[in-house]
Every structure is written in C-alpha cells, then in structure tokens.
Structure 1
Amino acid sequence: MPLRLDVKRKLLARSDRVKCVDLHPVDTWLLAALYNGNVHIWNYETQVLVKSFEVCDVPVRAAKFVPRKSWVVTGSDDMHIRIFNYNTLERVHQFEAHSDYLRSLVVHPTLPYVITSSDDMLVKMWDWDNKWQMKQSFEGHTHYVMQIAINPKDNNTFATASLDKTVKVWQFGSNVPNFTLEGHEKGVNCVDYYHGGEKPYIISGADDHLVKIWDYQNKTCVQTLDGHAQNVSSVCFHPELPLIITGSEDSTVRLWHANTYRLETTLNYGLERVWCIQAQKGANTVAIGYDEGSVTLKLGREEPAVSMDASGKILWAKHSEIQQANLKTISAEESEAIQESN
C-alpha cells in the first residue's frame, strides 16, 4: 500500500552551497554550514534568518547543534573544530583536529563527546569535559572518511562511510573496526542507521549512484535502491515515518517506502546538487542542503489518521506505530485525552 504522504515546504532559503544541515530539537531552527565559510541559522516557521556568523574563510563541511550546551560545533577545511555559543555567537573554543579537511562530525546523544572524520582517513573522538582532549582515534579506512552515524540503539557503536568503497562499524574502546560492509563499486559518501526496533539496518549511498540497505547482524546487503542518475550524496532513514530519504548530485531527493522499498515520490526544487539531508527525531521535519540553498519540509500529516471498526475499537497511527483503544471499555476522561493527543 503506498504511503499517503503530504510534502509541505516550510522554507526555501537561497545561499551559497550548503554542505551540512542540522535541525534544533526544540527551537524551529535550521542550521546550514556553507562552502563560503559562514554558518546560517534560519527559523523555518517564520522564514527569518535568525543568526549568521563567519567561521573561517574556507568551506565549513560539518556543523551540529549541541542543545544541552547552547553550542554549534563546526568542522572546516582548515582542519579546525570550532565551538560557538549560538545565543551570544561567541567562539567558545577552537583547535586543530585533523591533518586534512574535516568531512563529518556527530555529537554523542548523552556523553560529552564529538566524533569527527577527515580526508586524513582517521576518525577521532573528542571529550569536551576534558578540555577537548582526544579520547580515541579510529584507524582502518584507506581513503577519505565522508560521514559518521552513531547507532541509535547502541550509542557505543557507530558506522563510517569512506571513498575506499566500504562502510565500517566501530565500537568505543576498540582500535579496529568490528566489521566492514563491502558491495559498492565506488566511493561511499553517506551512511545512516534504521531507528526502529526490529530491523538491524544500515543504509549507505555511493558514487556508483546506488543506495544499499545492509543487515549489520548478518553483514549482508538486503536491498539495493537504483534510481538516482548521479552520485548519491546523502541517505536517511526517517526516525518517525516508514521512509527512506536519499539525495543526489542529480538534483533530486527521492522518498522510498522503508518496508516495500518502492519509490514513493521524487522532489526537485531547482537548487542544483543535493549535499545533505537531516530528519528530525520526534517530528516530521526534514532539512535538505543544496548547491544554491536549503529547504525545510514537513512530511505527512500532523494529525494522525484515525479509524473505528464495528466493535468500537479505534485505531490510529502515531509515527510508525499503530495504537488502539476500545470505546466500550474507555472512560469519558480517557476518550477526551485521546482526542486531545490527536
């Protein structure tokens, strides 16, 4: 059954090339890291540029919010990590993290760690509670390391995508990768984990124009998505909807059903090549970065679809879970609570 998917564009902001996007978990903010060395923060509800600051005079390829510290962390082509307070725009700290361009960074969801990857083929973990000391270095890739993704079900493991055509999975405390996933014909640009409970899946996209879905327990490729006409630059399992989102240098974003792998829709906003996609946990907001700017979308309906069968049982979908209640056994107070939550 095809997904009934509403795609609403909330923001289209033209700018210099956008190499990385992030969404704030509380504020309606889109963070865009630009090739010209600047960082923009847009309010995608009001379409206002709320903050803008110059990081350096070379491309900023990686930037993330750290909401618990009110920070933006950036990584750029001058090999430096810089940390800014996004309320005051003051630079809190900076240091040289790698010996070549920084490609990607992720913030650990609970621990005071930032993990970075670089064209120097290394992945490094930094501890901000200990003056940004390097806690660990991960060696094993033989080409640029393009992206990192932390496993949402096990925050001690993470995956990396590299132009050496592989995806590697690592564990904190170990110097060697747990395993390597091989199957792409060309360099791998992007990687993400499936967030749901049942499938131990990783998704990757590469310069062979293909998207692959891997079972990381069996170390096998379970599906290949073939549809893009150019390098695949970004992939994402939507954390709330049964949806795979892929972006490519062919200027399109494709939405695939995460269970049937059917192509549901193709989006093209005329902003040239796609470089990055970020979907927000706990919401249906998606940010996309392009050569000529960034777009923020709302996917699906805010209101869940509700149906009632003859026996008085109500079914409704919340995120990708089906929830139910029986009208015959439910009290008036509970029924009002359900209506309000919907």
Structure 2
Amino acid sequence: MAIHGIGPQKLFAMAAKFIEPLQVFVAGDTLGYIHVYSYEKEEKLQSFRGHAEHVTLLEVHPSKPLVLSASWDNVIKLWDWKAGWQCIRTFEGHSEDIEQAIRFNPHTAGNTFASCSEDCTIKIWDMYSPSPTPVASFECGSRHARGLDYFSPGGDLQYLVARLYGRAQIWDLQEKKRIKRIKGLQDIGCNIAVVENLSGRPILLTVSDDHTVSFCDSTTHRYENWVNFNLGRVRGCAYINMTKSLAVLCEKGIGLMEID
C-alpha cells in the first residue's frame, strides 16, 4: 500500500488497523507518520507524526477510544482519538526495535498490554502506572519473540504465549515464569494466535511459510490438526470471535474456515 501526501517520497504502510466505532482505519508509515482514513468515503481524514522512525505496529483497545503504536525508535505510544488523536502516554523500556507484536490483555479489561522486541524480551505494561517503564519483563534467551497472544486455560489462570524461531513459550503471568516450551514451529514466516472453538475452549494456532495452519491443544500442548488450503504460503490470519471462524491470508488467495 502506498501513501501519498507527505513530502515528495512514496511512503509505505508498515501497519494498519480498522476502528469499527469510527468506521475508519489507521495506518503507520515508514517516516513515522500515522494516517487516519475514512472507510466509507475512502479519503484521508488526518495525518500526524507519531514516531521518529517506522511505525511498525498498531493495536486498537477493545472498549476504549485508544490506539497503541510502536516503532523502530523503541518507543510505544498511546493515542486517544476522542481527544483529537492526542498522545496521552509514552512507554519506554525496550532497547531494540519493536516490530513483532503488541497486545492488550483481555483478562484485565485492556488495562495492561504486552510487547515483544528484537531485544529478546517480552514486557508487560500498565496503562495507569505512574511510571512509563514496564511492570514485568520476561527474558526469551538468545532468540527474540516474533509474536504473542494472551489466553486463559480456565479459572483464574492467565497465560501468555510467545512465538520464537522454531518454538513457542508459554508464560504464567501470575507466577511470572515460563511453564512450557512447544517445539515444531517453522523457523520463518510463522505467527501465533489464540482462538476459541464452539465450546469456548482456547486453541493455540500457528500459521507459517510451510503453507499450513496448525492447531495446538492449549492444555496438552500437542498439535491436533493441520490444514493446507493449497493457496501457497500462509502470510497471516484474522479470527472472527462472533462466528468462531478464521480468515487465512495466503499468497494465492484467502481461505475461510470454522473452528469447531
């Protein structure tokens, strides 16, 4: 996607998210600008400088008028769209590029969020903490995390799953310790997410460059099913909670499936 209108260069979007209440989507570009576009009118509504370098990640709060942005400048910012897209918080603590994932924690009403970075750490942040630094930090060893998501296997347990090269790690957020390593992931082109089946049981899902979507039981941590749409390499996925279905972006098309 090319974005025009700021200087003579052709700019490229590094991240984009849809904001349903506003019927707009936001996109971050390679010069650090954040753009707001009307979905219905197909026009740009606003642009502003968000970061000193590439905007690599955007995350929309599940219930509040807030958007997180992250960048190669190692900084995470919180924007309030009801306040005219004012930056209301800045979070600092990563020492390398933040370009893999940031996620609001659905089990804390979105009051906390997690991020991972090239500095081989996963950090937990509190939006209402007086300090701009993380409230917890997990070391991933010599490999940096390249994706993460939250899930709860039941009761009061709260876990965080992070994808590294060739494996995944599961962290207990209450105990602040790693409890499981899952091997067998593809080394490149892989992403990880948590979805629910029709009974509400969480399932760990991985998509990767080997053309497959893999489903891992969140209790036994064993792979139970693999799906190949025969549409080339899998690039990403989007989970639709209302219908318990999955849209999978492949090189040669989009695959749709229900999670039963």
Range into which the TM-score falls when normalised by the shorter chain = 0.7 to 0.9
Q: Which amino acid aligns with 1:162?
A: S
1:151 aligns with one of 102, 105, 115: 105
3-state SS, counterpart of residue 238 of structure 1: strand
2:240 aligns with one of 267, 272, 280: 280
- CA separation in 1, counterparts of 2:122 and 2:175? 14
Q: Is 1:202–2:160 an aligned residue pair?
A: yes
- 1:73-104 Cα shifts (integer Å, max 9, x gaps): 22232322111221221222111211222221
Question: Paired residues, what number?
Answer: 247
- 1:31-68 Cα shifts (integer Å, max 9, x gaps): xxxxx438xxxxxxxxxxxxxxxxx9444332222111
1:260 aligns with one of 206, 220, 227: 220
Q: Which amino acid aligns with 1:185?
A: S
3-state SS, counterpart of residue 147 of structure 2: strand
Structure 2, unpaired ranges of 5+: 4-8
1:76 — aligned with what?
Answer: 29
- CA separation in 2, counterparts of 1:284 and 1:106? 21
- 1:254-285 Cα shifts (integer Å, max 9, x gaps): 11111111101223335554443332223312
2:84 — aligned with what?
Answer: 131
Deviation at residue 205 of structure 1 after TM alignment: 0.7
- 1:109-137 Cα shifts (integer Å, max 9, x gaps): 22211001111111110111111111111
1:95 aligns with one of 39, 48, 53: 48
Deviation at residue 232 of structure 1 after TM alignment: 5.8
2:122 and 2:140 in contact (8 A); partners too? no
Q: Which amino acid aligns with 2:105?
A: N
- CA separation in 1, counterparts of 2:168 and 2:232? 20
- 1:301-340 Cα shifts (integer Å, max 9, x gaps): xxxxxxxxxxxxxxxxxxxxxxxxxxxxxxxxxxxxxxxx
3-state SS, counterpart of residue 106 of structure 1: strand
Alpha-carbon spacing, 1:186–1:58, altered in 2? closer, same or farther (3 Å): farther
1:172 — aligned with what?
Answer: 127
Greater mean alpha carbon deviation, residues 111-120 or residues 194-203: 194-203
1:43 — aligned with what?
Answer: none
Deviation at residue 290 of structure 1 after TM alignment: 4.1
3-state SS, counterpart of residue 88 of structure 1: coil
Structure index of larger Rg? 1
**Pairwise mapping of residues 44-63 of structure 1 onto structure 2 (< 5 A)?**
57-63=10-16
Alpha-carbon spacing, 1:117–1:256, altered in 2? closer, same or farther (3 Å): same
- CA separation in 1, counterparts of 2:137 and 2:32? 26
CA RMSD of aligned residues (A): 2.2
Q: Using CA pairs below 8 Å that are at least 6 residues apart, which structure has the higher relative contact order?
A: 1
Deviation at residue 296 of structure 1 after TM alignment: 3.1
Provide the TM-score with structure 1 as the length reference: 0.66
Deviation at residue 225 of structure 1 after TM alignment: 1.4
